């Protein structure tokens, strides 16, 4: 499997009159412009997050476009763009130039993912790309704050390999300090029992007991209170040692009721639990509807598209799904205002950026 080895965030952050070109809705970063040369998932997820906060993101693509545009079917009706591309490219403009950038790598996640005694299994989503994008977003925000304090910009190196390895947390720590290789546990947890998905009468339910008190509460609710006093299962270390027998007993009980019945029984439980939902279940959930996470945005080719909006809500606002992902080169010849020369903070070039220019006293500020 080929993965990106390195993701240098080739983004140029501008502070000045160019910010007038950002969207109309207020944003926490509406006075920042981002020249986005990233592609596929990690970088675009980072810059989309900046765009959600109001930054003016200009997506620079090759003449063929971001590869993710072709990752289908399914494709947008009347367009060559995939819905995969739509997921990480809202709140941006697109211009086209010639760009080439080969990359490749790997870092331990697949070896830890999959059924017990089974083959390695790829996670259902591009989790390393997303976490790298979030690390990149955090790094950009930290660099902006540092620039505000010192007037100095800096280069940021945020790559997939380092992010994946750092995400291995306890597995990496145990190997480095104890020399113990990780195993694949399916939905189960290597160090906690029970902590996994169980078959119900009509589906699957995830149950996790992170302490002995939670295990005792769980046993009481399933009508097996004696398990918490059984010498084989009294302590978590005992349950890990006797994992197979513990899981066998619990599985026999859980499969006697439906997921909905168990959810009702566990509604006041001290331990985390929940059904394994399909997408239809997720978006039919009353809480998901109440928080209005799904946004519908106008699209030039198909009328409207539905997207999952930003998950974070700020008390002062400013984090919005403003515009649908752009079509290829949609803004190469845009009729928007012509940008004036600005002071820039450069994240990729080797040379140090200039200090910010003093504000023009004769010109009103464009920042909020």
Q: Hey, which residues are catalytic here?
A: 129
The two tokens of residue 341 are 């020369």
| Whole-number Cα distances in Å, 187 to 118, 151, 206, 253 | 12, 48, 8, 18
Which residue shows structure tokens 């998950």?
311
CA angle 116, 121, 122 (to 5 degrees): 150
């Amino acid at each position: 499997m080929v993965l990106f080895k390195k993701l240098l965030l080739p983004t140029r952050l501008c502070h000045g009159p160019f910010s007038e070109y950002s969207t109309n809705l207020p944003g926490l970063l509406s006075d920042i412009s981002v020249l986005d040369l990233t592609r596929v998932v990690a970088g675009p997820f980072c810059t989309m997050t900046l765009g959600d906060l109001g930054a003016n993101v200009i997506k620079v693509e090759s003449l063929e476009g971001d590869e993710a545009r072709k990752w289908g079917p399914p494709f947008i009706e009347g367009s060559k763009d995939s819905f995969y591309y739509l997921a990480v490219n809202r709140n941006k403009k697109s211009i086209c130039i010639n760009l080439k950038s080969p990359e490749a790598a790997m870092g331990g996640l697949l070896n830890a993912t999959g059924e017990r005694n089974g083959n390695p299994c790829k996670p259902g989503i591009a989790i390393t790309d997303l976490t790298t994008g979030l690390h990149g977003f955090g790094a950009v925000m930290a660099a902006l704050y540092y620039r505000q304090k010192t007037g100095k910009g800096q280069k940021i190196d945020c790559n997939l390999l380092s992010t994946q390895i750092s995400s291995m947390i306890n597995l990496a720590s145990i190997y480095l300090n104890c020399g113990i290789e990780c195993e694949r546990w399916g939905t189960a947890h290597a160090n906690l029992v029970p902590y996994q998905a169980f078959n119900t009468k009509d589906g699957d339910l995830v149950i996790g007991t992170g302490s002995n008190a939670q295990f005792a509460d769980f046993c009481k609710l399933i009508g097996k209170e004696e398990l918490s006093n059984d010498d084989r299962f009294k302590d978590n270390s005992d349950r890990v040692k006797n994992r197979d027998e513990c899981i066998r007993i619990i599985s026999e009980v859980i499969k006697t009721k439906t997921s909905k019945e168990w959810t009702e029984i566990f509604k006041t439980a001290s331990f985390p639990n929940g059904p394994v939902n399909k997408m239809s279940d997720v978006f039919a959930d009353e809480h998901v509807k109440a928080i209005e996470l799904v946004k519908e945005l106008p699209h030039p080719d198909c009328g409207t598209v539905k997207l999952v909006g930003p998950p974070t809500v700020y008390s002062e606002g400013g984090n919005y799904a403003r515009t649908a992902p752009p079509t290829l080169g949609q803004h190469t010849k845009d009729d928007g205002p012509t940008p004036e020369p600005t002071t820039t903070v450069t994240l990729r070039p080797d040379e140090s950026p200039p200090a910010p220019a003093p504000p023009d006293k004769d010109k009103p500020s464009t920042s909020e």
